[in-house]
Structure 1
Amino acid sequence: MGVRELGLPERLTATGELPSRVTIWEVGPRDGLQNEAATVPVDVKLEFLDRLAGAGLTTLEATSFVHPKWVPQLADAEELLGRLDRRPGVRYPVLVPNERGLDRAVAAGVGHIAVFGSATETFAKRNLNTSVDGQFAMFEPVLARARAEGMEVRGYLSMCFGDPWEGVVSAEQVVRVGKRLLDLGCSQLSLGDTIGVATAGQVERLIDAFVAAGVGVDALAVHFHDTYGQALANTLAALRRGVSTVDSSAGGLGGCPYAESATGNLATEDLVWMLDGLGIEHGADLDALVATSTWMAQRLGRPSPSRVVKALAG
């Protein structure tokens, strides 16, 4: 059953305290698929990207140049980008872990990259094999070269609310590390709840702490996992603080290969349903997204965890 058949208004009038429009940063093709055990054929990935663009999404994180040893699912990055039919008005950023990854991105003609950092020492060690301070020695030449190449650079910051080895992460620690990424030249910082433990109050306090430290809310994005069922509540808290870029994954695909307790990302369809109810523009076609996630679920051999997909496709 589609949205229109439900007899509900597709959009209400937005309140003044919310952004009038939200950019949906779709991470399904990269973050959503990277942890799949069975190899997803490149033709399926290309059709996934094309369907998502056809559904009105304008930022699609396409793949990653992480070494295939660490993320075998994305070993086809060069082939995918070489065959990708880029739609006008759609950005296709890729994740770049180091200078070797940047070399590959430059060779592939990528114009928008992202780097991935950690707010905590333990996760930095386990994920990047370095320390929180040491990761910046790796990021600095990447960002310098990328900016010289005219690329836009986004920074992901993981473990912003809780770490499975260190517990609750203080806002002060996250702000300290996040500001360093912005100071290096990242145009946007995505605050990641990597294991899905954040609550709305934590989200508000962290965003307030960044603003108090002189970081404009327009430089912040949010990336929530739904381990404790709090992703939508946390997103709403961020919206009420003025954040207008939200990461999500079609069908709720994804997890984290370095944090076993993490479940899927916030589902794009669940996000769109909420945004429609709040009267916030986003440009996506919900019925087309549901059809896309249903199609991908069939390719993966299991149902989508998105509640909106289940409700509308059921």
Structure 2
Amino acid sequence: MLPTLPALLCLGLCVSQRINTEKQTLPKPVIWAKPSNMVPKGNSVNIWCQGTQRASEYQLYFEGSLFALERPKPPRSMSKVKFFISQMTSHSAGRYTCFYQSGELWSESSNTLNLVVIGLYDTPNLWVHPGTEVTLGENITFSCHLKTATSKFFLLKEGGSNHVQHRYGNTQAEFPMGPVTRAQQGTYRCFGSYNDYAWSFPSEPVTLLITGGVGNTSLPPTAPTSSFDDWEYDVSTKESGLQNDPTFWDHTTQNLIRIGLACIVLMTLVWLLAEDWLSKRKNQEGTNRLANRECRRRWRVQHSLEEEKRDTVSMGELKTTPEAGPM
């Protein structure tokens, strides 16, 4: 029992220390841009930051420095806020993160939102070799050319995965692919760029059609999107409810779990202390009973000795008494 109690006490202290440590920061918020994280030069964009319903302040950081903050006014409570950028330029393109505050605690940093401005340079040309209609498993190469010298090229697939391919080049870059699969079928565009956040106008779309395979189940090419304003590709984190993000628990729920764990440890300690006290009490009662029995035994022995002594004295007195003679 004695070794167990210090061990449980140490466990309780460790859990308490763990709780105090975890309470120092709140779960990270979610950040995204609307209508897209790729914004034409001069257009407006909203950057959204989603925290918790009890958040009292949101802060938006641009390239590591505070860019803007929002404080929802009571009694309003908002789980998300938006930061408005009226005109997109090369100076507002870059990396954004956000934080929120609830009570005395601040959240972790959100994931990075890469905000890109497009439409700064000439329009590049995009083509694919050996052609826009190829056989399943064939090797192909996309080529992107820009008359104005640049340093980097990007190739994106419309409505597809968020994977963006990039190659370095002066006026032209090539993007080899293959063996191609049906997942690579679709419409592509390319951009020229001097950095990761300031891009040219998009090229005209090139639609890749994959043929062959079982049943020749190739899909007809979709009509290319010709409007620059209508075309959009979002490589940022999309808007999502916090309940859909397993890592983004509401901090109140976490606190309830921590409090419950602490209560369990505390109740265990109390139970062990009570058990120890009852055990000691039982041992003391047993010792007292033994002592009482010993006292009664000694009293009986003493009483017997006194009675024997009295009997001995009485017999001696009878022996020394003279007998009466005859009259």
TM norm structure 1: 0.22
Structure showing greater relative contact order (alpha-carbon pairs closer than 8 Å, 6 or more residues apart)? 1
Higher strand content, 1 or 2: 2
TM norm structure 2: 0.21
Mark the structure with the bigger radius of gyration: 2
